[in-house]
Amino acid sequence: MIDQRTQKVLERYRVESGKGFRLKDFDAGDTAGLGIEKDHAARLLQQGVDRLAELQDMLYAQDRWSVLCIFQAMDAAGKDGAIKHVFSGVNPQGCQVHSFKAPNAMELDHDFLWRHSTALPERGRIGIHNRSWYEEVLVVRVHPEYLAGQKLPPALVGKSVWDERLEDIAAYERYLARQGTVVLKFFLNVSKAEQKKRFLARIDEPEKNWKFSAGDVTERGHWDAYMAAYQDAIRGTAGKHAPWYVVPADAKWFTRLVVVAAIVQALEGLGLHYPKVTKAQKAALEGARKALG
């Protein structure tokens, strides 16, 4: 169960209305005054992971709601680690993970939501999207040449193209919410200084070399443009039915605690329960017991 203190912590990072939202009001290094030891953090995380597993079991059994968790961040902010740890306890049958890379030729032949919508979670399941349709107003906005590759009719690509995309994303998320999908969006907010440290660790430590990509350093050069795009994206799409969480990401243990708590809180709010057995079903169960001898 999410206690009051955790609720307060979550409120700090949850954005349900884009009005007046400013990224600079959010500190990447914040840990909500929780200067805790490593093993204590691990125990807290385990509690969250266990609770998430219980809730997921009911979500699956009930087969009504679905949950879409979107993860967005700059490189090395900890998306992969957060996903790995937060969902470590859930039944793999009940969740579906998708990582979205640059779109391929077939995907570019469709509208931008197409490839994401085919990856949405079924009822009863948790969908984890490592990057998402938000890339369409982030990387594509920072690199307009990607937009040029999308084969849109030129008459439809005007100055307001980014606002229009944000409007379409917001409308689509509202639609999903009305269809029974709980939409949760996480922006892992890492600082530029911490990103540099993590890149250097990827260069220095042989077992991390595989994570390093020179292209990530190029993207770092566009930091301010990315931050401006993130701010606009959050402003344009934050809603009660599809909140953003601007999660401090300079301390990995804290990021993971916030993410798991936010998902647990959302699931607890659904009033999940195992399907009720009807009288007829009960009678059938008793009949089956007898038949077993």
Q: Which residues here bind ligand ATP, judged by CB under 6 A?
A: 75, 80, 100-103, 130-131, 135-136, 139-140, 146, 213
Q: Is the dihedral of CA 232, 234, 240, 246 positive or negative?
A: negative
CB of 258 to ligand ATP, least distance (A): 19
Nearer to ligand ATP, 37 or 145 (CB): 145
CB of 147 to ligand ATP, least distance (A): 9
Nearer to ligand ATP, 60 or 133 (CB): 133
Residue, CB closest to ligand ATP: 135
CB of 190 to ligand ATP, least distance (A): 12
Asked if 25 contacts 227 with a C-beta cutoff of 8 angstroms, the reply is: no
CB of 83 to ligand ATP, least distance (A): 10
Nearer to ligand ATP, 102 or 148 (CB): 102
Nearer to ligand ATP, 60 or 212 (CB): 212
DSSP secondary structure letter of residue 156: G
SS3 label, residue 200: helix
CB of 137 to ligand ATP, least distance (A): 10
Cα–Cα distances (Å) from 19 to 166, 231, 234, 238, in that order, read 14, 11, 10, 9
CB of 114 to ligand ATP, least distance (A): 11
Beta carbons within 8 Å of 223's beta carbon, 6+ residues apart: 74, 192
SS3 label, residue 130: strand
Pairing of strands 181-189, 14-15: unpaired
Three-state SS string over 242-267 comes to: ECEEEEECCCHHHHHHHHHHHHHHHH
In what order do the strands lie in the sheet containing 66-73?
14-15, 244-248, 181-189, 66-73, 126-130, 95-99
Nearer to ligand ATP, 100 or 253 (CB): 100
Nearer to ligand ATP, 84 or 282 (CB): 84
